[in-house]
Amino acid sequence: MTERHIEVSLDKRGVRCTARLLTEKAPVTCAAVWDALPLGSPVYHAKYARNEIYALFPAFAEKEPPLENPTVTPIPGDLCYFTFSDTELGTSAYGYDTEQRGTVVDLALFYERNNLLLNGDVGWVPGIVWGQIIDGLDRMADACQDLWRAGALGETLSFRRL
């Protein structure tokens, strides 16, 4: 099978990186994401997981992927896929629009080490590792630190086919 690559970007900051889809380890998830591209949504910086940025999307797969290639300790450059119900994200502690209904997909990029997917409300939150940044992680990590310090308002995290 031919390798598939995508561009991941913080659009307002003009920062882009390239990722390889891990189709050999997460074929169902990779197919779901690939078929849904392009995707873009407001970006958030993680509160609990540490060195993570992510965007939320309405469910786009015909059937949600199984927990393939799971982790609770993502490494720098990992792209992870999470699925949440509206009730899981509905508390004001998360700061999301509580009017969202249905399944929500979280596509995340981890840009530095020492991440742990442990949430005080629900416990362990395993993610599906579906991609790995292969070029531009250093520039993206700098932009993610800026996002953490300067704020995410008005910034978009986008995923596009290459």
- Are the C-beta atoms of 109 and 53 separated by less than 8 Å? yes
Element (H, E) at 147: helix 137-150
Q: Is 146 helix (H, G, I), strand (E, B) or coil?
A: helix
Q: Which domain holds residue 105?
A: 5-161
- What pLDDT score does 90 carry? 61
Q: Return the CATH number at 45.
A: 2.40.100.20
Amino acid letter, 76: P
pLDDT of residue 94: 60
Q: Kindly give the parts of the chain with pLDDT less than 70.
A: 1, 89-101
Tokens representing 76?
């720098």
**pLDDT for 52:** 97
What is the reported pTM?
0.93
pLDDT the model gives residue 86: 73
pLDDT for res 96: 61
End-to-end CA distance of the chain: 16
**Amino acid 48: pLDDT:** 78
The total number of structural domains that make up the chain: 1
